[in-house]
Amino acid sequence: MISVQEKLKEKGLKVTPQRMAIYNAVVKLNNHPTVENIVDSIKIEYPSVSVGTVYKVLNVLVENGLLRKVKSEKDIMRYDAMMEHHHHLYCNATDRIEDYEDMQLDTLVKDYFNRKKIKGFKIQEVKLQITGNFTT
């Protein structure tokens, strides 16, 4: 469990309170917060944070592999601290997005495409977009 500070240093990025707060907010909020969610969360300990800074920091963290972007139905970007390969469950009634990891499924899909090639296309990654309803 490597710390944010170390991750930033590894990439040659300066360790700033804002970067730590923003990264930690995405981790803590969990489940793909929007920029607005993140700003609200940080405002508690950082009432003066600039929204432009949040956007900038998020882009830096994405470019350096600390976070990833998740696109949602609506035209609003969301962020994900889960960097391992995984799929997403999308609620078709709300904005809820949950992570879904399934190595058995990944094996199944990988085996399938090893046997059945798509002509004219070299597959790099297959992600499932699973839509439906949460019952909990």
Partner DNA sequence: ATGCCTAAAGATAATCATTATCTTTTGAGA
Partner DNA sequence: TCTCAAAAGATAATGATTATCTTTAGGCAT
The binding site for Mn ion (CB under 5 A) comprises: 75
Q: Which range touches Zn ion (CB under 5 A), out of 14-22, 35-43, 93-101, 128-136?
A: 93-101
Helix (H, G, I), strand (E, B) or coil at 87: strand
DSSP state of 118: P
Q: Name the minimum Å distance from CB 77 to Mn ion.
A: 8
Q: Which range touches a second copy (CB under 8 A), out of 37-45, 46-54, 59-67, 127-135?
A: 127-135
Helix (H, G, I), strand (E, B) or coil at 89: strand
From the list a second copy, DNA, Mn ion, none, partner contacted by residue 123 (C-beta under 5 to 8 A by kind): a second copy
Q: Does 78 bind Zn ion (CB under 5 A)?
A: no
What is the rounded CA–CA span in Å between residue 78 and residue 71? Answer: 6
- Residue 108 phi/psi, 5-degree rounding, is -55, -50
The one among 95, 98, 99, 106 contacting a second copy by CB under 8 A = 98
112 CB burial (10 A radius; 0-12, 13-18, 19+):
exposed
From the list Zn ion, DNA, a second copy, none, partner contacted by residue 82 (C-beta under 5 to 8 A by kind): Zn ion
**Dihedral sign for Cα atoms in the order 15, 12, 40, 26:** negative
CA-based nearest residue to 68, from 106, 40, 26 = 26
Residues of this chain that interact with a second copy (CB under 8 A) are: 71, 73, 75, 77, 89, 92, 98, 100, 102, 104-105, 108-109, 112, 116, 118, 120-136
